[in-house]
Amino acid sequence: MTEPLSPESLARPSTFARPADVYDLYARLRRDAPIEKAEPRGYRPFWVMTRHEDIMAVERDPATYAAGDRTVLLPEKVEAIYEAKYGDRNGVKPLTHMDGSYHRAHRSVTMDWFGPKNLRKFEPQIADIAREFVDRMEDFGGSCDFSADIAYWFPLRVVMTLMGVPKEDEAHVLRLTQRLFSPADKDLKTQAGEKAQAGGAGGSRDVFAEFGEYYQALTDDRRQRPRDDIISTIANGTVNGCPMAQREMTSYYVIASTAGHDTTAASIGGGLLGLMQFPEQLAKLRADTGLLNSAAEEFVRWTAPVKHFMRTPREDVTWHGVDVAAGEAIMLCYPSACRDERVFPDGDRFRVDRPGNPAHLAFGYGPHFCLGKFLATMEIRAFYAELLPRLKHVELAGEPSYIESTFVSGLKTLPIRFRF
């Protein structure tokens, strides 16, 4: 019997390899301590917030709660390295790390590109890629590791195609993504041919520079020969009439090529696990593929791949009778919000017909609502629209395992047996 988790456990990457225990912790905190201080060794203290209503209130109030002061949980030693290298304890500066007009100006560079009107023209291309990967699944002959063999690679191909990255570079980008989001996971480091490091984000120390080096040649090319792709949009983007600074441009590439694929991969894999654990939902979705829209949202709510972002109050605030001083960061626990019984009475059930209102918070809320939301749900729909008519049977062939990461985590392995 494992020992119950504490709020400090949320700073340990290995905690998230035990999702059932994490959800038990969230439920206890929602009930007994919806705002609770955590003081893990090696990290600056922070507050843990777990209720849907509270997290939504913070996200809709960017004037009070800053995103850029402390955006994600990092060990103090890593923050010190970033401070020395970049002059910022967060490291580089993607949209998630920006506030106010600075954030709005940078978000506007790609907002139209990621909008549903623009993305619809790529639907046939995404459907073709989905068919390619379902064909690949069929070629495995009745068994595979769905996460490692299919779910990682399908959204990566989609995002790399839309970005304009050559197909032969996909494996390199996947390795960089895993180093950035899951630096403490020994298995992923072994797959990448790297030595695992202790600490929550040690492996991300040089990965930003590698992303920058990789994308520099593509940036130079798109400035000379722009195309209808994300790299061209970023490379030629302007902020307040001026070319984007190099640091911000590299950060944009990082967030587009990592968050754009890793979270979707987690949702596609976690969605299949949900369908196997709740076979009546698989039957319901087979019978009515019109439910794919709500099912895609449920896959994301159920898996909630982004485990947290931090927000820092600019003034003293009080939550549930607990005083939080200005400058003390609050961890917003999105998976907890997605299972909050006050909003989702059956939140621990997987339901492909779950109503869209009230909204889950797996894509965030407010000015930092996920820019890639429409692309993510489009990919999930496309993949399952291709898979479900061909899949006659699927079952677990072993115990699933989960990525050890405090920030973005999902299935690492999902061994299955299936019949087409």
Domains detected in the chain: 7-419 (1.10.630.10)
pLDDT digits (tens, 9 = 90+) for 169-212: 988 888 887 787 666 666 755 454 444 333 334 445 478 888 88
> How large is the average pLDDT for residues 324-347?
98
CB–CB of 110/233 below 8 Å?
yes
Structure-token match 């109050």, residue found: 313
Higher local confidence (pLDDT), 263 or 259: 263
pLDDT digits (tens, 9 = 90+) for 79-96: 999 899 888 998 878 999
Q: Which residues pair with 331 in a beta bridge?
A: 48, 310
pLDDT digits (tens, 9 = 90+) for 352-367: 999 988 899 999 999 9
Contacts of 366 (CB under 8 A, 6+ apart): 59, 60, 61, 62
pLDDT digits (tens, 9 = 90+) for 112-142: 999 999 999 999 999 999 999 999 999 999 9
The per-residue pLDDT for 192 is: 43
pLDDT band at 49 (very low <50, low <70, confident <90, very high): very high
> How large is the average pLDDT for residues 151-160?
95
Positions of E strands within 223-353: 238-239, 242-243, 309-313, 317-319, 322-324, 330-332
Both tokens of 299, joined, read: 């896959």
Contacts of 172 (CB under 8 A, 6+ apart): 214
Q: Which residues pair with 318 in a beta bridge?
A: 323
Where residue 65 falls (left for φ over 0; alpha for ψ -120 to 50; beta otherwise) is beta
pLDDT at position 376 over 80: yes
β-strands 322-324, 330-332 pairing: unpaired
Where residue 356 falls (left for φ over 0; alpha for ψ -120 to 50; beta otherwise) is alpha
* Residue 383: C-alpha distances to residues 37, 112, 114, 119, 279 (Å): 41, 24, 19, 16, 19
Residue among 193, 173, 367 at smallest CA distance from 261: 173
* Residue 308: C-alpha distances to residues 216, 372, 384 (Å): 30, 17, 27
Structure-token match 């479900």, residue found: 388
The per-residue pLDDT for 92 is: 76
Spacing of C-alpha 415 from chain mean position: 22
Residue among 182, 169, 180 at smallest CA distance from 208: 180
The per-residue pLDDT for 201 is: 42
β-strands 238-239, 143-145 pairing: unpaired
HSE (CB half, 13 Å, CA atoms) of 123?
12
> How large is the average pLDDT for residues 264-288?
98
pLDDT band at 301 (very low <50, low <70, confident <90, very high): very high
The per-residue pLDDT for 328 is: 99
Helix (H) / strand (E) element for 259: namely: helix 246-277
Distance in angstroms (rounded) separating the CA atoms of residues 339 and 343: 8
Distance in angstroms (rounded) separating the CA atoms of residues 29 and 51: 9
Average of per-residue pLDDT values in the chain: 92
Secondary structure (3-state) at 25: helix
Omega before 124 cis (within 30°)?
A: no
